[in-house]
Chain A
Amino acid sequence: MDGKPRSVGDLSGDRIKSMTVFLQNLLGGLSIGSVYAIFALGYTLVFSILGIINFAHGAIFTLGAYFTYALMGGKFGFNGLLANFSLGIQLPFWLAAILAAILAGGVAVAIERLAYRPLRRKQSDPLLMVVSSLGVALVLVNLIQYLVGAENYTFPGNTYGDLPSAINFGSAKNPIVIRTVQIIIFVISGMILAGLTYFITGTKYGKAIRAVAEDPTTASLLGIDTERFIMLSFFVSGFLGSIAGTLVGSSFGIAGPYFGIGFGLKGLAVIVLGGLGSIPGSVIGGLLIGMVESFVPDSGYKDAVAFAILFIILLVRPQGILGQKLIQKV
């Protein structure tokens, strides 16, 4: 299927070449995987607190990228209600990204209050919350399309300044070339992951979120305002989703309102692989899927292999790599 085999050179040359390919795939996979990780953490936070998968997270990812675009002074196309609209301000990329993430966090909180809280109040079947989140995703995606059309957008201006477009880590003869934007994404993701880990384990807010996640009833008996921390975790989840959207947007551009849906699906594989509700699990799951994808030899089966691994891991270790043992209610 994959064309003709490459010409066979001398053995040592081949070995260097395959080493080069290996390193390139490794670094590329790490970069993609780190974005998967940030994105998946948004799922994980909500799951650990409410025990549901928030399918609207993929739409928040998209929304965040659009917010960043608008805040950087981007102009919208001629389709949709906001044809040719632009905010008229041109913020630098980093500021736009942070503001967009805050806005997206606000949207996530609003979704929680309007769509999920009424269900929690009624103590409905958690499955209904999952369905509701799908409804929310449908509304968000189509609202974006209704307002700004289905065009592709690229962030205006020089997102990361005047850096070279790629860096060669190898020699001129055996190049190991990585796109600069991927290295930047990897570094930013790493910083965010570190910051988040500190927030969850080191601050009292983070500890409170964990307490609510582990046992809401006891947490509220201890005087923790459960509702407040549910909102906080939705905010952080929306914030992370938006950052992931912005980072992918900076490398790829925004490919229309359905941009985040594929990511949403991939994110599911990531969190289950790592173990639902486990923060380090999401990180490992993200990096793992990123690498697996870059090492699959037949590109046609790239996505299938990621899901096949997921399927197998689930069967061998249903709680995921780092997930806690399932507790059975008796």
Chain B
Amino acid sequence: MNDFLSTYGFLIVSMLFGSMLGISLYLPLMAGQLSLASPGFYAVGGYIAAILSTKVFVTTGTFPIPLLLLEMAIAGIVCGILGILVGVPALRLRGIYLAIATIAFIEIIRIISLNLEITGGAVGIFGIPQPFNSPIEYLWIALPLLLLSMAFVYRLENIRVGRALVAIREDELAADAMGINPTYYKVLAFTLGAILAGVVGAVSAHFLNTWNARQGTFDASIVYLTFVLIGGSRSFLGAVLGGMVFTAMPELLRFAADTPNLPLFIAQFLRDGRLMIFGLLIVLGTIFFPQGLVPAGLLKRSTQREQKSTK
């Protein structure tokens, strides 16, 4: 058990982070807005924590947890403000236009962090102090954070705000006619996602020991989108499950490749072809799980409508 925890401790915590990043992309999607901006906020949150802990809150030995929480709060606030600044103009766009505008946002953040001195260019920031002795202990932060965000989204879905978001997703014009202000709610959902991504980024900077411009990229947004869409885009549980399964997938394949007595060519294929298999699973997933792994009605009371067909 001990061996298992020390081998997979990092992975287990990564899976929880994956879930939260999935939720951060799911939030705007609740209102039908496809935003791929999460990695940008994740990157900004990470830089905030990395800079604060290596330049401002310089400590020796174990990094104090209260300071970590403070960093998370600062990252959340900054990303929230940035979220509003980007969200207000960007959310006038719809569908794929919004997606591409958010990709542009990520690229801009990436290039700026490559060029600034304070972010360390391509080398990034390293030697970030550790609040814990081993990766698995990050569960003390990651687990409550995940439960909290799950509870928050669950609650959100069942109050007026959540219903407004769903109404916008189903038909924005009708929602507008009913007196729901679409812009307000869309920006709200987008900003909540930005805050969550920023907070996760702040913890991740410590968790990864280092932070650089490769953390928030277009590739990452694709991965998060996969979490949500294959996990199930009609329930936050889909994002949570998708985040876990797809974070673990490459490691599961690594594990499978190490199974003793496996014919050499299969082991070799599982090793070198891991990403190919990953891609294939995504393709098959869209065909066989069009609603995602978690269908819409799973947590809802039976009175609510059955999975309404999209579009």
Q: Is A bound to B? A: yes
A272 near B283: Cβ-Cβ < 8 Å: no
Please determine whether B111 and A304 come into contact, CB atoms closer than 8 angstroms.
Answer: yes
Complex interface: stretch among B48-56, B76-84, B92-100: B92-100
Verify if B145 is at the interface (C-beta below 8 Å from A): no
Whether B290 lies near A119 (C-beta < 8 A) is yes
Note all chain B residues with C-beta closer than 8 A to A314: 90, 93, 97, 100-101, 104
Taking CB as reference atom, which chain A residue is nearest B217? A265
Task: List A contacts of B226 (CB < 8 A).
Answer: 131, 134-135
B166 within 8 A of A: no
Q: Does A184 contact B (CB under 8 A)?
A: no
A residues in contact with B92, CB < 8 Å:
315, 318
Contacts of A135 in B (CB 8 A): 226, 279-283, 285-286
Q: Judging by beta carbons under 8 Å apart, are B276 and A315 in contact?
A: no
- Asked if B134 lies at the interface with its beta carbon under 8 angstroms from chain A, I say no
How many chain-A residues does the 8 Å CB contact rule pick out? 49
**Is A138 located at the chain interface by the 8 A CB criterion?**
yes
Q: Is the CB of A124 within 8 A of B273?
A: no
**A139 to chain B: closest residue by CB:** B279
Interchain nearest-CB distance for B84 vs A (Å): 15
Among A128, A303, A310, A315, the most chain B Cβ lie within 10 Å of the Cβ of A128
Q: Mark A300-330, 1 if CB is under 8 A from B, else 0.
A: 1101100110110011001000000010101
**Nearest A residue to B86, CB-CB:** A311
User: Are A310 and B283 in touch, CB under 8 angstroms?
Assistant: no
Among A53, A124, A146, A268, the residue within 8 A (CB) of B276 is A146
* Any B CB within 8 A of the CB of A101: no
User: How many angstroms between the C-alpha atoms of A5 and B306 in the bound complex?
Assistant: 67
Give min CB distance, B19 to chain A, whole Å. 18
Say which residue of A129, A131, A139, A303 sits within 8 Å of B280 (CB atoms).
A139
User: Does B34 sit within 8 A of A, measured CB to CB?
Assistant: yes
Q: Give the interface centre of B89, B280, B286, B310 by most chain A CB atoms within 10 Å.
A: B286
With CB as the reference atom, state the residue of chain A lying closest to B106: A307
Q: Is B301 an interface residue (CB 8 A)?
A: no
Encode A125-146 as 1/0 by CB contact (under 8 A) with B. Answer: 1111111101111111111011
- Chain A residues with CB below 8 A from B90, complex form: 311, 314-315
**Whole-angstrom CA separation of A329 from B217 in the bound complex:** 33
The interface on chain B, measured as residues whose beta carbon lies within 8 A of the other chain's beta carbons, has a size of 44
A117 (CB) vs chain B CBs: closest residue: B287
* Cα separation A303 to B218 with both chains bound (whole Å): 14
Task: Kindly list chain A residues whose C-beta atoms are within 8 Å of the C-beta of B233.
Answer: 125, 127
Residue contact B108 to A307, C-beta cutoff 8 Å: yes
Complex contact B108–A311 (CB within 8 A): yes
In the bound complex, CA of A86 to CA of B78 (Å): 55
Contact across chains for B104 and A131 when beta carbons are under 8 A apart: no
B229 within 8 A of partner (CB): yes
Return the chain A residue nearest B98 by Cβ: A314
Evaluate whether A268 and B100 lie within 8 angstroms (CB atoms) in the complex, with A135-B282, A138-B282 already known: yes
Instruction: State whether A127 and B276 are in contact (beta carbons under 8 Å apart), knowing that A134-B226, A135-B283 are contacts in the complex.
Output: no
- A positions within 8 Å CB-CB of B: 1, 52-53, 55, 115, 118-119, 122-132, 134-143, 145-146, 265, 268-269, 272, 276, 300-301, 303-304, 307-308, 310-311, 314-315, 318, 326, 328, 330
Q: Told that A131-B282, A142-B275, A314-B93 touch, could you supply 8 new A-B pairs with CB distance under 8 A?
A: A52-B96, A53-B96, A122-B290, A123-B311, A132-B286, A135-B286, A138-B278, A315-B93
A-B contact pairs, 28 of them (CB 8 A): A115-B283, A118-B287, A119-B286, A119-B290, A122-B290, A123-B311, A124-B290, A126-B311, A127-B34, A128-B290, A130-B96, A131-B225, A132-B283, A135-B226, A138-B278, A138-B282, A139-B279, A265-B107, A268-B103, A272-B100, A304-B107, A304-B108, A304-B112, A307-B108, A308-B104, A308-B108, A318-B92, A318-B93
